[in-house]
Chains A and B, each alone.
Chain A
């Protein structure tokens, strides 16, 4: 663990206006990553403005008091840097990375759009057209379209029912007034986090510079306390969609706890054992030994108020869907009742450590992880301490987490059935299944 001492260079502070800053000095490449995360996303929207958070992801590049339209992006390009932004259920994040000597420029750009964003009809109408295009791009992919329907059902009646894309009828009618209200309410320093990672002089110097840029904007003063966890729906659902996608696919989803819950880490470990890599249980059993699927995998989506554990298999048309679904469920059941072995636990530790080591080579990755842990899990130290938490975790505790969360009676299943079956794919699948097994 010697090299992970990079974390000794980490510091945080909260300014008078409530803005929190986290800073990590990372010597090496002469670059710096600056990320500003606002703790608002699609979960903070109401009917009539579904998708407005995503509008802001776009409009934040369309100019502010001292920065012209797209000038933010252009100025970062001009020094060889890169930028991005994304909208999720709980956050809207703005990502910048520049050569280290341009840190002040990025801070100034970010503070200008936090303080004085330009919101008018012209900007809104142009971005509305762009967002409609983006929405259509997603819907023109049958797999994405079906999955959006699936997650809508999974979180039905709760804060996460709508994805960050929102609702087309709302996207078409969101007004300048709606945007102004949303901006004043959520784009406030006391609802934001700034993370700076890279080849800097010192964290203290960075905090002073942040304070100079962002300190003038007063706190909003609204209640930004973390929302309560939402109980999962305890009902099963089975969905089938006939799609223009030539590969059958089965997805099963189980309730998972909020990211800050004590069960989140155990479920992450179980997910790795069950679904990640060629030595995972699902790959060995479903893909290799039984040849039911071409590939199998899974992921946990950990959000602020709830979560979802997904497992999927892609298979050939000759295999009955029911067998694939049963095989996926059996793997989940096996860890629910039997837990994992010490050898599997050791593999997880090595995998997590390797992933962590490689994350630490990149200022962008470190920023992203710190910002996520602070904004979604409630404390960036969770990410910093993840390896030691893993070391101290009792293998037997994992079963309890699975039993508490991966509730079979709440399982949601999505079957994507191709409208058209390719005969060659069918034949290849059949040939594979008829071959002798090792």
Chain B
């Protein structure tokens, strides 16, 4: 007597079973679904600036990690290691170029995103905290620009950083202490580049990641800001 044919495996059921397995143990599928498939008002291209920023930040983090694998944050070796990355390493020119241009793109997008938020009135009740966390991200990104600029360690990087540090020094009372904090001493020294490196790749990015989580949570909780206009009869999503 022939055995019954084994059931044909159903890939859809296999996927769903896996998802259920994860769902029961972590709840992540629900979290992701609620995050991705939430209701949003009528949006336009201006609403894509925030997620563009997030994308550029992820690119900066990725290329930054790759660059850190070949970078030597010391006065004697920094410039040579940058030369090596740019000229000799496989696709080093691409990774460094992405990081360099990505930095500018991020600042530009940040200003556009901030402008969109401002002109849409999206900073108003109940989204004040979203604006404030965004402002902290803005300051952090400026800090990334300042600390990253020195790491190239060419003449422009060096003198631009000297000027930036001295600008901090001109603030009354606290200024001189801030500049010595940035210099890691009373004058430009061997530790300055290490300090900028640590701030650039550890301290400030951690702060940005934490702030992004808070920022995103508030966006999900409060919803995307609709266009600033009077409600229209019959439209429900405003």
On whether the two chains bind one another, the answer is no
A residues with CB within 8 A of B: none
